């Protein structure tokens, strides 16, 4: 049931038009952060208001909507956002990655490759990849304009000098089409390679910071690295305890107070589908 007091997908049409303009601009300049007049949403800033506004602007009544948080459809905030759109837009929802036309995500890219016609909407807390190197927005915008990314390389180099490795494991910066350095949102760097050459449209919404950016399908996205320290997508060196998958991203679950733990897929839909197909991990019942 749609809540009659509000417009389809909550936002008024004027606001959606403003957001769509920002999205189109973002798609035209991949990786560039487009300022937009983010609205107060009925959920707190920092809880996906950017993603929600982007989803609201691109949703149509025929869409099938999926929401994941940490890869799972059943985490509380994913449940909350899904029911928000069930209520305000009355759209069909699904947990099956392949069935969804729009997927809103926080911190993960689904394991199953996305296809043409799908849209992946990321919730972004801090859209500026240079923010923790330079707190001033006026400065970072200048740095992007001048393609002045030396500071970022120095930071990565210092990591290597100090730790022997680049000490960034999530929100690992990428370069888009050889131009803009972009924050991929706090996905684990394991997911970074999936961003490049993706068949689906990728949209990024940062509500509190009032920024939208985008990657059109089949965009070149390269994780920053050095020739002698190449980028490496890493994950826990285990197989999923439930479905036995060797190549999905794993969460570590503590199962007793004596150091016992097991590893399970963070992508619940992927894991369930594998179990349904008869795959079994070593901890499966």
* Residues catalogued as catalytic: 31, 240, 243, 265, 271
Nearest Cα neighbor of 208 from 140, 143, 123 is 123
24 counts as binding other proteins under rule CB under 8 A = no
Question: Residue 206 pairs with which residues in a beta bridge?
Answer: 211
CA-to-CA distance for 6 and 117, rounded, in angstroms?
A: 28
The minimum distance between CB 149 and other proteins, in angstroms, equals: 21
Residue 154 C-alpha from the chain's centroid: 26
Question: Helix %, strand %, coil % for the chain, to 5?
Answer: 30, 20, 50
Q: Which of 107, 175, 194, 274 binds other proteins (CB under 8 A)?
A: 107
Give me the phi and psi of 204, to 5 degrees please: -125, 125
160 neighbors 229 (Cβ within 8 angstroms): yes
Q: Which of 19, 41, 91, 103 binds other proteins (CB under 8 A)?
A: 41
Pick 79 or 133: Cβ nearer other proteins: 79
Q: How many residues in the shown chain lie near other proteins by CB under 8 A?
A: 70
167 counts as binding other proteins under rule CB under 8 A = yes
Q: Biggest alpha carbon distance in the chain?
A: 59
31 neighbors 177 (Cβ within 8 angstroms): yes
Per the listing, tokens 């905030």 go with 77
Question: Residue 252 pairs with which residues in a beta bridge?
Answer: 263
Pick 204 or 219: Cβ nearer other proteins: 204
Contact characters 119-158, other proteins, x per CB under 8 A: ------x---------xxxx--------------------
Helices (H), 64-211: 76-88, 137-145, 150-163, 192-195
79 counts as binding other proteins under rule CB under 8 A = yes
Pick 158 or 252: Cβ nearer other proteins: 252
CA-to-CA distance for 207 and 212, rounded, in angstroms?
A: 8
The minimum distance between CB 224 and other proteins, in angstroms, equals: 16
Q: Which of 8, 21, 29, 46 binds other proteins (CB under 8 A)?
A: 46
93 counts as binding other proteins under rule CB under 8 A = no
160 counts as binding other proteins under rule CB under 8 A = no
272 counts as binding other proteins under rule CB under 8 A = yes
Applying CB under 8 A, which residues contact other proteins?
Answer: 6, 10, 12, 35-42, 44-47, 49, 69-72, 74-80, 83, 106-108, 125, 135-138, 163-165, 167, 169-171, 186-190, 208, 210-211, 234-236, 241-242, 249-253, 255, 262, 264, 266, 268, 271-272, 283, 285
């Amino acid at each position: 049931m749609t809540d009659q007091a509000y417009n389809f997908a909550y936002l008024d049409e004027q606001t959606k038009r403003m957001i769509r303009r920002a999205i189109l601009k973002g798609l035209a300049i991949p990786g560039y952060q487009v300022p937009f007049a983010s609205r107060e949403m009925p959920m707190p800033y920092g809880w996906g208001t950017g993603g929600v506004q982007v989803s609201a602007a691109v949703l149509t009544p025929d869409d099938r909507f999926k929401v994941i948080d940490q890869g799972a459809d059943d985490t509380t905030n994913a449940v909350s956002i899904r029911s928000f759109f069930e209520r305000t837009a009355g759209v069909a929802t699904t947990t099956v990655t392949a069935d969804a036309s729009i997927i809103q995500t926080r911190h993960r890219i689904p394991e199953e490759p996305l296809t043409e016609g799908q849209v992946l909407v990321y919730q972004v807390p801090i859209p500026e990849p240079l923010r923790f190197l330079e707190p001033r927005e006026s400065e970072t915008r200048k740095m992007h304009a001048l393609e002045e990314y030396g500071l970022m390389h120095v930071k990565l180099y210092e990591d290597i000098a100090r730790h022997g490795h680049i000490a960034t494991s999530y929100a690992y910066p990428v370069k888009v089409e050889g131009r803009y350095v972009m924050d991929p949102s706090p996905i684990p760097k394991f997911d970074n390679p999936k961003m490049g050459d993706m068949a689906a449209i990728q949209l990024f919404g940062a509500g509190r910071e009032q920024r939208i950016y985008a990657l059109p399908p089949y965009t070149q996205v390269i994780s920053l690295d050095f020739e002698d320290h190449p980028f490496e997508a890493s994950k826990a060196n285990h197989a999923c305890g439930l479905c036995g998958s060797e190549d999905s991203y794993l969460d570590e679950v503590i199962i007793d107070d004596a150091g016992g733990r097991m590893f399970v897929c963070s992508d619940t839909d992927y894991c369930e589908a594998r179990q349904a197909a008869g795959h079994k991990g070593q901890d499966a019942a």
